[in-house]
Structures are given as C-alpha cells and as structure tokens.
Amino acid sequence: MRSAGLDLVKWTAIVTMVADHLRYLWPAAEGLFVVGRLAFPLFCLAIAVNAQRNPDGHLFTRGNLRYLGWLTVFAVLSEGPYRWLDPATQTLNVIPTLTLGLLLAWGVRHPPLHARLIGLGAVLVATVFSAQLMYGLPGVLLPAAWLMAGSRGGAAWLLPCLMAVAGNLTNSWLFGHLMAPITLLTLVAATLAIPLGCLLLRCNGRPIPPVGRWGYLFYPLHLLIIKGLHWLL
C-alpha cells in the first residue's frame, strides 16, 4: 500500500537534491549546499522503509529483485550525466551508494544466513571502495542505521545521525575545515535530516502525489537539464 508520508519523504529528498545541484548554475549560493544535505538521509530512509515492509525471510521476491534491478540499471545510466555535470568529481554518482545500502538493509532486516552474507558483502565492497562512493562507507551504513533506530528506539537514534554526519565528512574539504561555518551548518543539516524524516513519514493526513518509477529517470535527466542550462547561461 502507498504511504503518503513516504511519498512526502521522497518529494522532500528530490526537491532538496535539485536545490543542491542548482549550485552548478549559481556557484555563490552556498546555502543550497546546506539544504542539499537533507536529501541523502531522506533517500536512505525511503530505502529503509521499503526494506522494513518485507516479511521476515522473504528476500528474493519479485518486488525486491525489480527494486534492485532498477537501482543497478540507473546507477550505470546516471554515471555519464553525473560526470558530464561535474568532471572534477572523485566519486561515483549517488546510486551505487544507495544500492549497496539496500543490500545491507536487507541483510539487517532478514535473519537467514544468505541475507546476512549479502549484507556482509555490501559492507566489504563499501569498505574497499569507500573513497569512490559518494558519502563513503557511512553512506552505505545509513539505511541499516535507520532500520536499527526504528526497531530499537532510544539511544539507537544516534546511529543514523552519526552516519549522516560521517558521510558528509568523507568530503575532504569539509573534513579539512571542521570549524568553518559552512561545515558546521552542513553537519547540523545532516543531523536534522533524521528527525525531519521521522516527522515527514508520519504525515499521512493528506494525499501526496506518488513518486513512481519515474523517480529513477529523474535523477540522470535533471543532471542533463542543469548542465544544458549551464551552457545556455
């Protein structure tokens, strides 16, 4: 069943992601970078919610395989537009991080050994290639941290907050300028994304336009549009 709250989480993630990427048109707009730090934790929340919906032990379902397939396909298709927009980037586009995060979330969610091994494999890949992944190993751990916080509560809510902050600190400039105002604002925004996501997820009172499979295509398409506008401007 569709959840208006989950769709609101996705819409907020999409809007803040686009706001972040608009910096390629207006480089001086540092505030958009801070706003954009909300996007990744919210996308990770969406992954965690979808993983939580699966009954225990029901990992290899048609829906799960389709979900993984869409992520894998668009991880490949998005790399060209991502590098065209930002040729100096040192990382892959964000979808490989989300894909590994999904695999780990499945390993946390499902008790059978094969699920645990899939999750362990995702962690090993993320550890080896952390420097090439956007948000690094902490970004891969974030969906699982959402799951653990939701099931255990209490102090466990520190886990997604810490992973969101650590993921941003894989940015070498931020890590090298820890006391810079933009860094402090970035880390605050990453932390606030966690309670914001919880709040949005509970907003089921009004119908929200669904975010369907077009969301996968939106990612590379909006990168191409922003690059095209950069040329025109």
Q: What is the pLDDT of residue 1?
A: 61
Question: Average model confidence (pLDDT) for the chain?
Answer: 95
pLDDT digits (tens, 9 = 90+) for 111-139: 999 999 999 999 999 999 999 999 999 99
DSSP3 helix / strand / coil % (the chain, rounded to 5): 75, 0, 25
Joined together, the tokens standing for residue 144 give: 């699982």
Is the confidence at residue 20, as pLDDT, over 90?
Answer: yes
Q: Which residues, 6 or more positions from 176, have their beta carbon under 8 angstroms from its beta carbon?
A: none
C-alpha–C-alpha distance, residues 72 and 46, integer Å: 17
- Distance separating alpha carbons of residues 224 and 205, to the nearest angstrom: 35
Closest-CA residue to 132 (of 83, 174, 178):
83
**Positive or negative CA dihedral for 200, 205, 207, 213?**
positive
The values of phi and psi at residue 212, to 5°, are: -95, -155
**2: confidence class by pLDDT, cuts 50, 70, 90:** confident
pLDDT band with cut points at 50, 70 and 90 for residue 74: very high
Measured CA to CA in angstroms, residue 157 lies from 53, 100, 139, 161 at distances of 20, 21, 16, 7
List C-alpha distances in Å: 114 to 42, 66, 85, 107.
Answer: 28, 19, 39, 8
pLDDT at 206: 78
Q: What's the CA gap between 39 and 207, in Å, rounded?
A: 21
Contact 62, 53 (CB under 8 A): no
The per-residue pLDDT for range 196-210, each reduced to its tens digit, is: 999 999 998 778 999
| Two tokens, residue 210 | 């669904």
Burial track 137-169 (b if 16+ CB lie within 10 A, e otherwise):
bbbbbbbbbbbbbbeeeeeebebbbbbbbbbbb
- Say if residues 20 and 35 touch (Cβ distance below 8 Å): yes
- How many structural domains is the chain composed of? 1
Whether the CB-CB separation of 144 and 115 falls below 8 Å is answered with: no
Q: Write out the residue range of the structural domain in which residue 11 sits.
A: 4-232
Average pLDDT, stretch 34-59? Answer: 92
Tokens in use for 4? 């208006």
